[in-house]
A and B are shown apart, each in its own frame.
Chain A
């Protein structure tokens, strides 16, 4: 019992824990002003909307853990969402089979990123920037910018359904995936190798970790998760548009970083990414509830990210702390003046 309490206490000291507290505080404040934040409808809408970017964020987190970055997540989501729609509408495929196949397409798309990065030692930022353009362009070439409509209802029910009016299906899927990924990252060899790779690449090589293979796997996972989010999004809308998930690449990085994942690799968790994704989701909902112009949303999100990483830097950086300590101290007691 004590052990569990201890763990909970520790969680609230992490970045993810602090972000959760901030999220709840924002929620309580908006509840007091508008009185309808903690309604079943609002909570289910909010979590359902946030789940998509969180799913993509999971993949992004795993990539960031190795010290890489994946800018092609939104484009992969788009390609696979399109494939899903084509399978169902043009080929009349069984919806569940279509979902499965379209999601699996994410793996080879991620593998292309991984191969370039791991085997040819190219910079992840550039490689995924290029594949992002290619994948996105491919979508426009195939659809000519036209939407694909007429997907079966059961697809919409799967992605958009809500159990008991509070718990959306997609949130359950997101939580199940989070549990699987957490077990993978903390209890499996692959997961520890991912952290070791991001923590010190040279050391990882010397202890015999197959660094290239791990790197390829990581981009495949990111591709798979992005694909799943894209497919689910097209199911939810029962149609496909080329603009699906446009904001996911930056949104997924924001969620991961707000959740305490280091851009340099080696630190972070997928649970943190949920917290980060929820906070951005809450901000956007609150702006709606408070009847503020939605044009303010990105400004507020940007400011919140800056504040969060600033607090994090002060918390973990000794040099920073020493600097503050020094300011405080030289203001008062030392009296040796020149």
Chain B
């Protein structure tokens, strides 16, 4: 293996695709400035950078979604002209997008060959399609019934089917955008084995990820981008994780630091015997005023479902009891939860969090309209000044409060949603994966926000899959495994990631 890698790196001209000095302008801004990317045959090439560093723009150019303004692309030494996504596919450059876009009602085979059907005399050749689908999945070490409907499969399988769909185009270059974000560790390992397999077949892979550990373990080389510029291209063994972070951020960013906090012993919320058939059973926990309770566990353990139920989006089965401030309450819908002083920041920001066509201001004050009224009409002066207060106070980057929220970056959208609940004046805030897909600096800012909120006496619940986040934030950790509480960790200071995992699997 070592010898092979050395042999590859000595042959510098074995680039399969070379993007040279690519520049791309968008109205009003320059998104890319003379960025170059070299992909060699049979390598896993990580592409890292903060959100907005230009990774997606660069990949959109390579897959023919955008036209570049300056620069050139060479494929196997010859200039390549990409003026549409079809051009890229014809040249065997294939993208596996971050968002799964499979058709849930269709079968595995139909999804794999969507838009790329195996035809025979004007009809789809189903038998040949099924056989080929099995072959492609075999390449990924996956065995499953190719006639099954996709909606019955787990997110991990769906991710693998997306990759199989890409493989149907016999890619020379395969771009994987955040492929592990929905996967558990075991599933990720399976994906990495599949990637190694493709490597043997000579496929060049671009691996976009926020998880730098994965870069260190899986990638051969890494290209680091910042603010639409190329920072560096290095072989992975020659760089450390910390160096990568420093170069991505441009300045030395703070490591997630643990802060000791004092927590009141007054309980704000308590749940007993929460159950939902097929999702979770007999969940008992409480959260104190001013406490940050982190909820750890594997993806799919039922964490999101539990807190959807706490917030009244779904209903618990019979027998559950919940208490706020010691008084028994029944939370039948989100508006009841809100009236009791709860707020909820959903996992899927686009799906559940923002109303994309509304302004930053409106997204922020939506739950507070009730008290922003004068003579029955909305008092927009008051609403505007409220929005301005939080835009400044939380340093939300937006052109103005009237900008549509969809034009903000993910991190800033998230801040608006958190501000929404602070403006409402909540006493308990549930945050589900609050920093997923958000760059390192914005992450730190959101952590500070959460801590400040807890310092003011708000009970905070953070559901997170990122162990370092959990260990940095938590006053107490609740670990969920397969729909049950598998334990609480009170002494977080002397806890390691392994300890949490041990509780999760015990």
Contact = CB atoms under 8 A, between A and B. Distances in A.
Contacts of B373: 189
Contacts of B444: none
Given A192-B369, A337-B81, A187 B357 contact: no
Given A188-B378, A199-B358, A338-B79, A329 B334 contact: no
A187 B377 contact: yes
Given A189-B370, A192-B369, A322-B66, A200 B81 contact: no
Contact of B352 (A195, A206, A336): A206
A326 interface: yes
Nearest to B365: A192
A309 to B, nearest CB: 18
Contacts of B313: 205-206
Does more than half of chain A's interface fall in helix, strand or loop, or is it mixed? helix
A210 B84 CA distance: 45
A267 interface: yes
B420 interface: yes
Interface in A185-207: 187-189, 192-193, 195-196, 199-200, 202-207
B83 A326 contact: yes
A330 B378 contact: no
Interface string B371-397: 001001110100000000000000000
A237 B28 CA distance: 58
B94 interface: no
Contacts of A209: 335, 366
A208 B377 contact: no
A334 interface: yes
B439 interface: no
A299 B271 CA distance: 63
A208 B369 CA distance: 11
Contacts of A202: 346, 351-352
B202 interface: no
Interface string A303-338: 000000000000000000010011001100010111
B354 interface: yes
Interface residues of B, number: 39
A195 B358 contact: yes
A338 B82 CA distance: 9
Nearest to B362: A192
A266 interface: yes
B400 to A, nearest CB: 14
Contacts of B212: none
Given A266-B357, A322-B66, A207 B83 contact: no
A199 B81 contact: no
B207 interface: no
Nearest to A205: B334
B353 interface: yes
A98 to B, nearest CB: 31
B356 interface: yes
A319 to B, nearest CB: 9
A173 interface: no
Interface string A83-121: 000000000000000000000000000000000000000
B425 interface: no
A266 B355 contact: yes
A189 B369 contact: yes
Contact of A334 (B67, B78, B352): B67
Interface in A140-191: 183, 187-189
B355 A336 contact: no
Contacts of A188: 376-378
Interface in A210-228: 210
Nearest to B81: A336
A202 B352 CA distance: 5
Nearest to A266: B357
Given A199-B358, A334-B81, A336-B79, A206 B334 contact: yes
A330 B333 CA distance: 54
A329 B67 CA distance: 9
B329 to A, nearest CB: 15
Interface in B306-356: 311, 313, 333-335, 337-339, 344, 346, 351-356
B35 interface: no
A204 B351 CA distance: 11
A338 B80 contact: yes
Nearest to B73: A336
Nearest to B373: A189
A204 B335 CA distance: 10
A200 B356 CA distance: 8
B357 A206 contact: no
A63 to B, nearest CB: 17
B358 A196 contact: yes
B214 interface: no
The CB with the most chain B CB atoms within 10 A, among A203, A206, A266, A336, is that of A206
Interface in A256-292: 266-267
A41 B346 CA distance: 59
B362 to A, nearest CB: 7
Contact of B354 (A203, A205, A267, A336): A203
B52 interface: no
A199 B356 CA distance: 7
A326 B369 CA distance: 44
Contacts of A266: 355, 357-358
Contacts of B337: 208
The CB with the most chain B CB atoms within 10 A, among A187, A200, A205, A322, is that of A200
Nearest to A267: B357
The CB with the most chain B CB atoms within 10 A, among A192, A208, A326, is that of A208
Given A200-B354, A266-B357, 18 more contacts: A187-B377, A189-B378, A192-B362, A196-B366, A200-B355, A203-B353, A203-B354, A206-B311, A206-B334, A206-B353, A207-B338, A207-B366, A208-B339, A267-B357, A336-B72, A336-B79, A337-B81, A338-B80
Interface of A: 183, 187-189, 192-193, 195-196, 199-200, 202-210, 266-267, 322, 325-326, 329-330, 334, 336-338
25 contacts: A183-B377, A187-B377, A188-B377, A189-B370, A193-B369, A195-B357, A196-B355, A196-B362, A203-B353, A203-B354, A205-B313, A205-B334, A206-B334, A206-B346, A207-B334, A207-B367, A208-B334, A208-B339, A266-B355, A326-B83, A330-B67, A330-B83, A336-B72, A336-B79, A338-B80
